[in-house]
Amino acid sequence: MLARNRIYNMYCVAGMKLLDSGSVDLTVTSPPYDNLRMYKGYSFDFDDVAAELFRVIKDGGVVVWVVNDATVMGSETGTSFRQALRFKEIGFLLHDTMVYLKDSCPYPETTRYYPSFEYMFVLVKGKRIGTVHLIADKPNKTSGDRITGTERKADGTVKYMSAVEKHTGRKVKPFGVRTNVWHYGMGFMKSTTDRCAYKHPAIFPEKLAHDHIISWSNPGDVVLDPFMGSGTVAKMARLARRDYIGFEISPEYCAIAEERLKCT
Ligand SMILES: C[S@@+](CC[C@H](N)C(=O)[O-])C[C@H]1O[C@@H](n2cnc3c(N)ncnc32)[C@H](O)[C@@H]1O
């Protein structure tokens, strides 16, 4: 077993082989997507990574896999979908296909709508998810009102909830659980205010990592990122009082992550 709270400059499959089976509570990661970025030419074998992720994650643990597809010869590759289905074949539940909606997008194409999102596949090992703390930060328009609404019963008739709820006096709360589309600012000084992080070409927003970490883990849990890049997941795990383990194949990117963690 490797020491926690370190980022190892290693090929992630070799690194994960040094972890005990079932020793990781949560993985939040974003692998290289097709050929969208070169990352100094480093690549990985998806099947090997998926098999090791399945082995090291504990029963009921979650893997959040953030991906997108390249467009090649006029067609999206569909790699993201193939990976999601492969994860299912090796035993993960595809718990939720979530969307990371960005506030900016690449130079617009003339034949397509502006590409503005990436997938966040939330995968679970075992029969059911272990830890769930859904974030309830969506303002309810009817906050404070008595709960109303209808419910369609199996025989097709409609039951008015208000008639039931008036006896309990339940009111609509100020905030409800958010949807599975998460919207973040991205780009310079929006993904993070750590200037050194931008030496990496593809950081994801700190808030994205934070929100998954608090949703699917508890303080003291182990959070893994096998493609650590600039150290976003390590930083946000530490701030949320979780332990982390990271792998990153590029020594230059490891140095960026270490620099970033020094100030955290
Ligand atoms: C999309 S970036 C991750 C960015 C990260 N989420 C962040 O916020 O900085 C993918 C990273 O995976 C690394 N990488 C590529 N192949 C790898 C491998 N086989 N093992 C470990 N890291 C690898 C790349 O060097 C790159 O830094």
pLDDT in tens, 90-107: 999 999 999 999 998 877
Q: Which residue, judged by its Cα, is nearest atom 8 of ligand 1?
A: 203
Q: CATH code for 6-135+178-262?
A: 3.40.50.150
Residue 150, pLDDT above cutoff 90? no
- Ligand 1 atom with the smallest distance to the CA of 247 is 21
Share of the chain above pLDDT 90, in %: 76
**Which residue is it, tokens 């969208």?**
36
Q: Which of 193, 208, 248 to mutate to test the pocket of ligand 1 (most atoms within 8 A of CB)?
A: 248
Phi, psi (rounded to 5 degrees) for 198 = -75, 0
The SS3 assignment for 200 reads coil
Residue whose CA lies nearest to ligand 1 atom number 4: 229
Amino acid identity for residue 139 in this structure: P
> Which alpha helices (H) appear in 71-139, and where do they start and end?
79-89
**How crowded is residue 177: how many other Cβ atoms within 10 Å of its Cβ?**
11
Structure tokens at 12: 């992630």
Residue-range domain boundaries for the chain: 6-135+178-262, 138-176
Q: In this predicted model, which residue has the larger pLDDT, 145 or 30?
A: 30
Mean pLDDT of the chain: 92
pLDDT in tens, 18-67: 999 999 999 999 999 886 666 666 778 999 999 999 999 999 999 999 99
Cα 50 to averaged position of ligand 1 atoms, centre (Å) = 15
Task: Report whether pLDDT(85) > 90.
Answer: yes
What confidence score (pLDDT) does residue 162 get? 58
139 has pLDDT over 70: yes
- In this prediction, residues 220-241 reach a mean pLDDT of 98
pLDDT at 209 over 70: yes
Which of 7, 17, 42 is the pocket-test mutation for ligand 1 (most atoms within 8 Å of CB)? 42
Q: Determine the pLDDT at residue 36.
A: 62
Residues with CB under 6 A from ligand 1: 11-12, 30-32, 39, 42-44, 200, 202-204, 227, 229-230, 232, 247-250, 253
Residue 57, helix vs strand vs coil = strand
For residue 39, what pLDDT is reported? Answer: 64
